[in-house]
Amino acid sequence: MADVDVAPTPRPGADPSSGTAPSSGPASPQKTIVVSGIQPSGTLHLGNYFGAIRQHIALHTRHEAYYFIVNYHALTTVRDRDALERYTLDVALDYLALGFDPNAATLFVQSDVPEVTELAWIFYTLTPVAQLEKGVSYKDKIAQGLSPNAGLFNYPILQAADILIYGGTLVPVGADQKQHIEITRDTAQRFNQTYASPDDPIFPMPEPYILDDVAVVPGIDGRKMSKSYGNTIGIFDEGKTLKKKVMSIVTDSTPLEAPKDPERCNVFALIKLFASEERREEIAAKYRAGGYGYGHAKKELYEMISDFFAEARERRRELARHPDDVRDILREGGRRAREQAAPYMERARRAVGLITTY
């Protein structure tokens, strides 16, 4: 079980700009352009929120930002066309409900910028197979039982194209994605060294933005919370559904009256995501004193999750009543993203010698 220790998090939709400093930042004085994507492969969960979405929301009003729903990537695992469409719209609803302002930054669907797959192909021709064979994320997914298809294998290069085609310089990701950002940097460097002059690189060198205070968010079985493990608590789960999941969190068999170590408890690891420092200490003291059962802790966690996302839950319900408005936001976001991508893609085409004959 992983301990999770984060600073108290503002309610979704509140001003989240005062957070923990990133472990990495832009390496040069060039303009900061934030880019990141999230996969529409199922219902977004607490691991997605604390691992990525809250950073996205925190950064999107402070810098020029492009956030995309990576439906090309989702094709590596989702085989149901209706589900993919539904998941894609659901991700947009979630982001907007959690505080994303489409007037401050760009939210769009990956496939609305088809040039990204063209750039990925160019990058494939420069990428050593050995580099992809070392992919930790690929090996992990195969170990989980996913089919070892070429899409999963080449995932980091399409991700590199996602980042570089918009001139991304800062990429908020979870710690498990750090290797992919290193591959993106290698790809940019390899392309620039091959096709551009040293004093006029085509693609910038992006840096990861990884919060130091977030470890792995545990799922209800104690493993990393992941859709592929089926152990998630959805961001917008509520009522009986939420209560059932919280009450099913795995704990040990220590009796109610006995003292307990909160730092070894899956329930407390999740409580720490939502509670203030003072509240965390109060609950930890109850654990250590005895007479406080895991059932008590689960009840408190249930109430914390319900309260934390209450306002966002209401906003999501209202947004869901107007799906065409959400699609309009994505459509406009796609237009802006294509405008941003166009000069990078054109320079890349010219650099490698792809001529236009029409």
* CATH classification at residue 44: 3.40.50.620
Quick check: is 178 catalytic? no
Contact 195, 164 (CB under 8 A): no
Tell me the whole-structure pTM to 2 decimals. Answer: 0.88
Q: Are residues 208 and 252 in the same domain?
A: no
Q: Are residues 241 and 192 in the same domain?
A: no
Residues 257 and 12: their CA atoms lie apart, in Å, by 37
* Residue 15 within a domain: no
* Residue 127 within a domain: yes
Which distant-in-sequence residues (6+ apart) come within 8 Å of 190 by Cβ? 126, 127
User: Which of 141, 260, 286, 298 is labelled catalytic?
Assistant: 141
pLDDT value at residue 30: 74
Contact 55, 211 (CB under 8 A): yes
- The number of residues in the chain equals 358
Quick check: is 141 catalytic? yes
331 vs 102, 110, 149, 319, CA distance in Å?
A: 11, 11, 30, 16
Q: Are residues 118 and 212 in the same domain?
A: yes
The CATH number covering residue 286 comes to: 1.10.240.10
Domain that residue 247 falls in = 237-308
Q: Are residues 142 and 285 in the same domain?
A: no
Strands (E), the chain: 33-38, 64-69, 106-109, 170-172, 207-209
Q: Are residues 167 and 106 in the same domain?
A: yes
Q: Is residue 143 predicted with pLDDT exceeding 90?
A: no
Q: Are residues 39 and 170 in the same domain?
A: yes
User: Which of 178, 227, 243, 299 is labelled catalytic?
Assistant: 227
* Residue 104 within a domain: yes
Residues 282 and 216: their CA atoms lie apart, in Å, by 23
In the chain, how many domains are there? 2
Instruction: Name the token pair of 115.
Output: 């040039």
The mean pLDDT of 327-338, rounded to a whole number, is: 98
* Residue 21 within a domain: no
Q: Are residues 274 and 337 in the same domain?
A: no
For the sheet with 33-38, list strands across it.
Answer: 106-109, 64-69, 33-38, 170-172, 207-209
* Residue 357 within a domain: no
**Best mean pLDDT range from 8-17, 139-148, 225-234:** 225-234
Q: Is residue 77 predicted with pLDDT exceeding 80?
A: yes
Quick check: is 245 catalytic? no
Residues 18 and 90: their CA atoms lie apart, in Å, by 28
Q: Are residues 278 and 166 in the same domain?
A: no
Q: Are residues 279 and 163 in the same domain?
A: no
52-57 long-range Cβ contacts below 8 angstroms, 24+ apart = 52/172, 52/173, 52/174, 53/94, 53/95, 53/98, 53/235, 54/9, 54/12, 54/16, 55/19, 55/172, 55/209, 55/211, 56/95, 56/100, 56/172, 57/12, 57/16, 57/95, 57/98, 57/99, 57/100
151-190 pLDDT, tens digit per residue, is 989 999 999 999 999 999 999 987 778 888 999 999 999 9
User: Which of 224, 272, 286, 298 is labelled catalytic?
Assistant: 224
Q: Are residues 298 and 172 in the same domain?
A: no
